Amino acid sequence: MTSRPSTVAAFPTARSCPFDPPPDFAALRAVRPIVRMAYPGGRDGWLVTGYALARDALTHPALSARHELRASPIPMPLAPSVAPRGVFIGMDAPEHTRYRGPLNRYFTVRRVRQLEPAIEKATAERISALEKADSPTDLVPEFAMPIPVQVISELLGSTDEITDEIQRLRTTTLDRRSPPVAAAAAIGATNARMADLVRLRRASPSDDLLSALIADGSLDDGELAGLAMMMLIAGHETTASMLALAIYLLLSDEDLRAAVLSLPDPYDTHEAELSDAMANELLRYLSVTQFVSRAATEDLELGGVRVSAGETVTVSLSAANRDPEQFDDPEAFHTAGPLRSNIAFGHGIHQCIGHNLARAEMKIAIPALFRAFPRLRLTESAGTLGTREGFTIHSVDRLPVTW
């Protein structure tokens, strides 16, 4: 028997702790793992907060990833539109498969291991820059952001100029205070710059992913530009946020920092990494990607409720990763690592293609920072640093530190 519960007024965003999901999610999940929710613009849809149901929703064949069908659970400067060619995160099969398929082999565990020297190089360069700079400094622009930007740029074959401009344009696009005209202009400029990059690599191929895709010949320049833009954006925004929030957490709790990092003897030249267990627990506990939305292409039943065709279902990844039905004592950070898989990178065919790369960047960059600066500390009390509430990606805008 299906039913229609009462409607939640809006997607919860207010946090009582920067490292925990909004407390409303736990209260909602305790009653039911799926609830009716109002979306900006007057549309109603659904909110999923339970882990098992989240996995079901993310693999349901009648729930579409197409951008133009979904409503956003948070206010955005522009309404959802058809995903540009190549941007497969906003597509369903078979289009999704055609674009993602050629990329899969470049993001396997084995391929990512081959990228570790590039990650170590980017990390070492940022640490060297910090050592030469005056203390205090802000680790978001000086460490958390540049490392994933440099790594994904090198992987794609992007230039510093194009990458820097893309970051600036994305700030305008995602800022809810941006006028629609400015947001639309930023999207247009982003597309133009990626088209410039494709033309550059076609005329001057190099040892990079974009050049390899051009040589493969299965995608035209418009598709390549969309695909490259998606990878450049996705390849640094989430990882930079994860690095910043994880470092913030470790700076806020000395005992946790010691347990997570297990720093080696300072005279030992071995380059320690975070364990896989620690990286996965940081991902589960912090869950910087707040939600994933899908649109029903037909009437369906999900978790005992009837979802009508055209309605949006939003999965709270942060709530699902704190579900006590899936994780023992989910509100605590487990230094032994989670015993079960989290969905910080999503689930199913749309799971983030770069999840192995993001883990590698976390595992290398975080311990390297604390090894280089064992006396690293915040210059402000943890409670005074605001976080990006009400955004798709949760993090801190600044991380002032000294050593």
In the structure encoding, which two tokens stand for residue 229, read together?
A: 């833009």
| Residues whose CB is less than 8 angstroms from the CB of residue 328 and which lie 6 or more positions away in sequence, other chains included | 339
- pLDDT on residue 315: 98
Burial of 399 by CB count in 10 Å (0-12 exposed, 13-18 middle, 19+ buried)?
buried
- pLDDT on residue 175: 66
Weakest-pLDDT range from 121-130, 161-170, 238-247: 161-170
Are the CB atoms for 371 and 341 separated by under 8 Å?
no
Burial of 265 by CB count in 10 Å (0-12 exposed, 13-18 middle, 19+ buried)?
exposed
Q: Is the pLDDT of residue 306 over 80?
A: yes
- pLDDT on residue 128: 96
Alpha carbon distances (Å) from 137 to 107, 123, 129, 361, 403: 33, 16, 11, 21, 9
pLDDT band at 263 (very low <50, low <70, confident <90, very high): low
pLDDT band at 272 (very low <50, low <70, confident <90, very high): low
pLDDT band at 266 (very low <50, low <70, confident <90, very high): very low
68/90 Cα distance (integer angstroms): 8
Q: Is the pLDDT of residue 363 over 50?
A: yes
264/59 Cα distance (integer angstroms): 42
pLDDT band at 267 (very low <50, low <70, confident <90, very high): very low
Burial of 81 by CB count in 10 Å (0-12 exposed, 13-18 middle, 19+ buried)?
exposed
> Which is it for strands 291-296 and 312-316: parallel, antiparallel or unpaired?
antiparallel
pLDDT band at 397 (very low <50, low <70, confident <90, very high): confident
Could you tell me which residue, 84 or 139, shows the higher pLDDT? Answer: 139
pLDDT band at 393 (very low <50, low <70, confident <90, very high): very high
pLDDT band at 168 (very low <50, low <70, confident <90, very high): confident
Any long-range contacts for 337-343 (C-beta under 8 Å, 24+ apart)? Answer: 337/275, 337/276, 337/277, 337/278, 337/280, 337/281, 338/277, 338/280, 338/281, 338/284, 342/280, 342/283, 342/284, 342/287, 343/51, 343/54, 343/55, 343/58, 343/317
Share of the chain above pLDDT 90, in %: 67
Sheet with 34-38, edge to edge strand ranges? 7-8, 34-38, 44-48, 312-316, 291-296, 63-64
Average pLDDT over residues 153-177: 78
pLDDT digit string, tens, across residues 177-215:
778 888 788 888 888 888 999 999 999 998 899 999 999
First and final C-alpha spacing in the chain? 60
187/67 Cα distance (integer angstroms): 15
pLDDT digit string, tens, across residues 315-346:
999 999 999 999 999 999 998 877 789 999 99
Could you tell me which residue, 83 or 63, shows the higher pLDDT? Answer: 63
Share of the chain above pLDDT 70, in %: 95
Q: Is the pLDDT of residue 349 over 50?
A: yes
Alpha carbon distances (Å) from 209 to 1, 206, 229, 314, 334: 51, 9, 13, 33, 37
Are the CB atoms for 42 and 312 separated by under 8 Å?
no
pLDDT band at 270 (very low <50, low <70, confident <90, very high): very low
pLDDT digit string, tens, across residues 111-144:
999 999 999 999 999 999 999 987 899 999 899 9
In the structure encoding, which two tokens stand for residue 22, read together?
A: 């909004």
All domains of the chain in start order, with CATH: 7-402 (1.10.630.10)
- pLDDT on residue 158: 85
Q: Is the pLDDT of residue 174 over 70?
A: no
Q: Is the pLDDT of residue 166 over 90?
A: no
- pLDDT on residue 265: 45
Q: Which residue has the tokens 């407390």?
A: 23
Average pLDDT over residues 63-80: 89
Burial of 184 by CB count in 10 Å (0-12 exposed, 13-18 middle, 19+ buried)?
middle
32/52 Cα distance (integer angstroms): 12
Q: In one letter, which amino acid is 12?
A: P
Question: What global pTM score does this model have?
Answer: 0.91
pLDDT band at 98 (very low <50, low <70, confident <90, very high): very high
91/67 Cα distance (integer angstroms): 7
Average pLDDT over residues 60-83: 90
- If you average pLDDT over every residue of the chain, what do you get? 90
